[in-house]
Each structure stands twice: as C-alpha cells, then as structure tokens.
Structure 1
Amino acid sequence: MKSAVVVFNVGMFEITSVVVTTWGIMLILGVFCWLATRRLSISPGPLQTMLEGILLAMEESIKTVLPSHAQQLLPFIATLWIYIVMANMTGLIPQLHSPTGYLSVTAGLALLVFMSVHWFGIRSEGASRYFKHYLSPTPLLLPFHLISEVTRTVALAVRLFANIMSLELGALLVLLVAGLLVPVPLLMLHIIEALIQAYIFGMLALVYIAGAMQSQQGYEQNEEGESV
C-alpha cells in the first residue's frame, strides 16, 4: 500500500500530498464552476451546451433508479461522479498520484455514502419508519442488517482503492518494461477506467440510497400481499 508524503505541518497535524492534491482538485472544480456558470444564457454557447448535456446525462442515470427523487439526489451523486473522475485522472499528471489510489480517501468517500444513505432514508421515511426496517421481517435479522451496512461500506471503499491503485501500478510496470513506446493506449486505458470506476461508485451509492428511501415499502407490500 502506498504511503503519502508529508508536505508540511499545521501544528500537530501532518498535511500530506494526498490532502494537497485533493485541495487542488476542489479549488480547480470550484473556480471552473464559478467561471462556467457566471454568464449563463438562454441561448447557450458551446461550453454551456456541453455542461448542460453532462448534467442531463447524470440526471437521466439517476432517474433510472429513482425517477421521483432525481432532483433531490442529483447534487450529491453528481458531485461524487465529478470529484472521483477528476481524482482518478490526476494520476495522468507527472509526479502526481490519484487520491483515490489511497485507502484513506476512498474510505472517506465510502463513509460519506454511508451517512448519506441514512440521511436520505430518514428524510424520506421518517426516523421511526426508517429504523423499523432493520427489524423487518423479524427482529432476529437485526445483526445481519447491521453487518450488511458495515460490509458494503468497506467493500465500496476497497473496490475503488484497489482498482485505481492496480491501474497506476500496471501503468508504471508497462512504462518500465516498454518505455515510452505505448503512451497513447495506456493513456486511453487510464481515462476509460477512471470514468468506469467513478460511474460504478456513484451508481452503487445511488442504489444504496434508493434502498434506504424505499426501505419499508417492500415489506409493507409483501405484508399486504400475504393478507390478501
């Protein structure tokens, strides 16, 4: 497992290269969004058209899972997609590494998804109704529900970390063996993998949130069907 380089210290806290890279990504995205949206027009130019197309594509992807909550979930899921794509592609820049190639970063993203699942679930179902699904269809399943929450969060973090780390290691090995003879195919592979892994992470987060927002509906439908 790679270890991050300490860049500087703030009191007792060590600021590593991963943190600096993440701050850089956040700054770039923030400045870009401000510049891109400060002069929006009814007759959009090429940049606005491209951004609107990307946003609509994200919204349509969310609608395939939760049609009635697409607008509510779009800011969170779209932010995940955009950040992870940028973080994954950072490894293409010489002397930089993808923040998502470090387990601490992917664990933080997975923890954010974990908290968001419960946040959206409680907002949608209400606290008592939401937590009731952990006892359905029988309270004996409570430990298994809790174990499932933990394992899927760990799997979410490890999956993204392992894929990006192996991609960077594979690229490094190929460059060491073949030199600079295959830079373009390797570059394309990295871009494609960066997009795929970001999409998978966002869709898994979306599926988990959808399950939380509809947690009790499935059990109630089953009960109604049995009573009929």
Structure 2
Amino acid sequence: MNAEAIVFTLGPLAISRPVVTTWAVMLGLTLLCALATRRLRLDPGPLQTMLEGIVSTIHDTIEDTLPNYGRRLLPFIGTLWIYIAIANLVGVLPGATSPTGDLSTTAALAVVVFASVHWFGIRGEGVAAYLQHYIQPSVIMLPFHIISEISRTVALAVRLFGNVMSLETAALLVLLVAGFLVPVPVLALHIVEALVQAYIFGMLALVYISGGIQSGQSRSTRIEAGATQ
C-alpha cells in the first residue's frame, strides 16, 4: 500500500484514503436515508418523490430481469447501485478520489456479489439442489464451473476498478493539458460515466444472482418432470 494513501492507523491496521472515503459515503447515505424517511407522507414532497422514483425504478429493473424477486433483491441490488454511483461521483469533487478507483474496494464489492449469488441460490432452492448444478450435465464440469465462478468475480472487480481509474486519469490529463478552459464537458463526461459504471456493475450482479437462482429452479423442474413420467 502506498504510504501516502494511509490516513491513520488503528493498532496494526493501516486505514487508507479509500477506506475513509467509503466510511464517509456510508455515513452520508445513512444520514440522508434517515432524514428522508422520518416524515413520509401520502402526498409526497419533492425529496420523497425523487426517492420513491429511484426505488421504483430499481424494483422494476429487478422484476424485468428476475420476475417475482423484486422485493427480495431490492435491498441488496439497490444498495449496490446507489453506493457505487455515489462512490464513483466522489471523484468529481476537487481533491477527492473515488474509492472505487482502488482495487481493494472493487475486490471487496466483487466478493460480496460472489457470496450473494450463492446465498440467494441456496436460500431459494436449498443446499443440495443448488450445489447439484455444479456437476451438471457431468461431474467432469465441476472444475470448469469453479473456474468460471472465480474468473467472473475477478473480472467484476478489475472492470470497475479499471474503468473508474482510467476515467479519473483521463480527466486529470485533459485538465493538465487544456487547463480549466474545458471543465464543464469533462465534468459531464465524468458524471455520465460514473453512473454508467455503477449501472453495469449492478446489472452484472443481478444477472449472476439470477443465474444462481434459476440454476436451482431448473434442476427442481427437471426432477418434477422426471417424477411425473
């Protein structure tokens, strides 16, 4: 770890700038949610309308990908989308860097997605039914399934890290070359790309979870079909 990135230490633990920024984003989102939901009304104001629109959009997107799982996946997928979007946008602030521009942050997010795929798959179909798909159509496929799980988790982490880091680097180079004559286009590009990367990460997580759930359902369907024959 770069010594310049270390903000302070807690005993043997070195707390880096991405960790502090992540804590700040988490605290900000927690306070915003607490304040925004204190006085919910049937006749919503502008802030409540905006929040309801965001939640409704996320719910509908989940339902389009995995019907009947909108309410179950909304807390996890919604949190991923909102956190990553805000974390990416932190880089717009002068002197700040996005925590998602650090590989340790994106790796942690990818590991959470990896665990969630198996959690939702096992929760929906049970351990035996879920794990059975790893040896379908033959036990020979087991190592290939394991490699696929690991490789897509690594790709998920590296993709977000590389895109955010390259975006911030490109913006910095443009500002260094052109000065501050073109801040608005660069800022607009950064905002759009930050939101796009958050959307892509969330959609990939949703697709992976959908695959984990449907693999168990497919096996259950095959068993039921065989039992009726």
TM-score by length of 1: 0.95
- The structural deviation recorded for 1:3 is 7.4
> Given that residues 121 and 216 in structure 2 are in contact (C-alpha distance below 8 angstroms), is that contact kept between their aligned partners in structure 1?
no
The corresponding residue for 1:74 is 74
The corresponding residue for 2:217 is 217
> Given that residues 129 and 219 in structure 2 are in contact (C-alpha distance below 8 angstroms), is that contact kept between their aligned partners in structure 1?
no
> Given that residues 100 and 161 in structure 2 are in contact (C-alpha distance below 8 angstroms), is that contact kept between their aligned partners in structure 1?
yes
Structure 2 unaligned spans of 5+: none
Paired residue type of 1:70: G
> Given that residues 85 and 194 in structure 2 are in contact (C-alpha distance below 8 angstroms), is that contact kept between their aligned partners in structure 1?
yes
Using the alignment, how far apart are the partners of 2:92 and 2:2 within structure 1?
Answer: 17
For each residue in 1:163-216, what CA deviation from the matched residue of structure 2 results, as whole angstroms up to 9, or x when unmatched? Answer: 000000000000000000110011110010011000000000000001111113
Using the alignment, how far apart are the partners of 1:132 and 1:221 within structure 2?
Answer: 13
Query: Structure 1's 72 and 133: CA in aligned 2 closer, same or farther, altered over 3 A?
Result: same
Using the alignment, how far apart are the partners of 2:148 and 2:70 within structure 1?
Answer: 26
Using the alignment, how far apart are the partners of 2:4 and 2:203 within structure 1?
Answer: 28
Q: Tell me, what secondary structure is at the counterpart of 2:15?
A: strand
The corresponding residue for 2:200 is 200
The corresponding residue for 1:95 is 95
- The structural deviation recorded for 1:67 is 1.2
The corresponding residue for 1:139 is 139
Using the alignment, how far apart are the partners of 1:202 and 1:8 within structure 2?
Answer: 31
- Tell me how large the CA RMSD over aligned residues is: 1.9
- The structural deviation recorded for 1:95 is 1.1
Q: Percent identity?
A: 60
Using the alignment, how far apart are the partners of 1:157 and 1:80 within structure 2?
Answer: 13
Using the alignment, how far apart are the partners of 2:10 and 2:36 within structure 1?
Answer: 33
Using the alignment, how far apart are the partners of 2:134 and 2:177 within structure 1?
Answer: 52
Q: Please give the residue correspondences for 1:156-171 in structure 2 after superposition, counting only pairs within 5 Å.
A: 156-171=156-171
For each residue in 1:95-119, what CA deviation from the matched residue of structure 2 results, as whole angstroms up to 9, or x when unmatched? Answer: 1100000100000000000000000
TM-score by length of 2: 0.95
Asked if residue 39 in structure 1 is aligned to residue 59 in structure 2, the reply is no
